[in-house]
Amino acid sequence: MSKLLFFLLASFPLAQTVSDYAYTGAKVSAMAGAVVAETGSNWSIFHNPAGITEIEGTHLSAGSGNLFGFKWLPTYNLGGTAPLPVIGKIGFAFQQLETKYSGKTLSKEQTLSLAQGFDLQHDKNSRLAIGYTANFVQWDLGKSAGVSGDGSTVVGWQDSESGFRQAAIWVNGVQQLIFFPNGDRAQAAGAISDDGVWVGGDGNFANNFQAYRWSEATGVETLGPPLQPGWRGATTSLNEDGSIAVGYYRPQGPALFGSGFIWTEALGVTDLNSYAESLGIDTQGIVMSLPLDISADGSTIVGAGRDSNNQRVGFVLKLAPTILGTETVTSIMEVTYYPNPVSDILNIDSATNIEQVAIYSVTGQQLLSKALDGANTVDVSFLSNGVYFVKAFGNNTSTTFKIIKN
């Protein structure tokens, strides 16, 4: 599927602009991606078209690289500028981003840019210029975005005649389209659990652009509370049985300036950085804004983010699988527990008969396993001060919650 879009970028020199997806040119790279200061080179076409007025003569530049340093995201750039006989400077540029896997191109984004910049005022003491860039963007997108562990189930999307994506799932080659409860189409599906039961994808206007999880038995389940205007979300990966989801929420703009999330029935949607820090994990100043995949047991999350200098970085987040719990249960137990923080006796109440509890450290080490025998209290006085996870079991159900020992 191919899409062609046109949009216009206008700027004054040193105006605040944002790169779509890549550093372009040695100068910007040397300045840690500070495209706001990009003037006087061919790469101004992408970020600050007024800046081409500072270029003397005719120039041609070419470059290539890998987005976020990943070899499977190659980028290619070509740009040129020349003076106009009458007014200002003109420029052209070509930019391409590919997604590759095992030597195959899964998707391709190409941008052809035409720019003009001219001075409004120029003397030996000051300079004021204006410029614009006309961008023609084409996407060639693959339709298959995920596959189950045994290869029998594939998820992705179909393209409607109007150009919108329609989430789809193929089981042994038989297609099923995914809809919201009100009959509106679901957006592109990009994640599938290893067992092929659960699907995750991008939000659209039908569900306030929120990330979702879907199964044939439940239909679409929107993840998280309503979003702020202009924000959108997506589920990017699911664990083996779909009980843990990761994804992102972000405003319009680069994905790395959003927030990554982790979701379980017990946790709900939780900011990934906040969750890791609640477990005592040192995130080293990295904002994990774009989680891309989670392991089958839910213990490892990988993705891209930004460091304290807003540099793009990759991350690997190691969690203890016993904390999140990936065993299959028929439902989630509802409990109330108090006090929290707790010093000695923790009370746990539930309509379900609680048969057993276990307490884990933030590293996943089991510190206590106890049968309650109808007495829904647990003595935690032996624990050191800190954060712990309590897991309660009963009638083939379970739930996990966090306590603070003081």
Q: Are residues 310 and 362 in the same domain?
A: no
Using CA atoms of 68, 69, 74, 79 in order, give the dihedral in degrees to the nearest 10: 80
Same-domain pairing of 373 and 287: no
330: in domain: no
* Residue among 307, 279, 295 nearest 149 (CA): 295
Task: Render pLDDT for 191-219 as a digit per residue (tens, 0 to 9).
Answer: 999 889 999 988 776 667 788 999 989 99
Q: Structural domain tally of the chain?
A: 3
Q: How confident is the model over 256-271, as pLDDT tens digits?
A: 788 899 998 877 888 8
End residue of a domain, out of 323, 355, 379: 323
Domain closes at, from 323, 346, 362: 323
Give the model confidence (pLDDT) of 13-31 as tens digits.
Answer: 332 222 344 445 666 667 6
Structure confidence by residue, pLDDT tens digits, 264-294: 887 788 889 888 887 778 888 899 999 999 9
Shared domain for 101 and 181, answered yes or no, is: no
Torsions phi, psi of 85, nearest 5? -60, -30
Q: Tell me, what CATH number does 214's domain have?
A: 2.120.10.30
163 and 299 both lie in a single domain: yes
In the block, tokens 């290539």 appear at 64
Write the CATH number for 379: 2.60.40.3080
Taking the model in full, what pTM does it have? 0.49
DSSP assignment of 266-287 equals: TTEEEEHHHHHHHTT---TT-E
Single out the residue of 203, 267, 272 nearest to residue 233, CA to CA.
Answer: 203
The token duo for 297 is 């047991």
Q: What is the dihedral of CA 340, 342, 345, 350, to 10 degrees?
A: 10
Q: Which of 323, 347, 369 lies at the terminal end of a domain, its last residue?
A: 323
C-alpha closest to that of 114 among 42, 57, 56, 64? 42
Of the given ranges (151-155, 275-279, 319-323, 354-358), which has the lowest mean pLDDT? 319-323
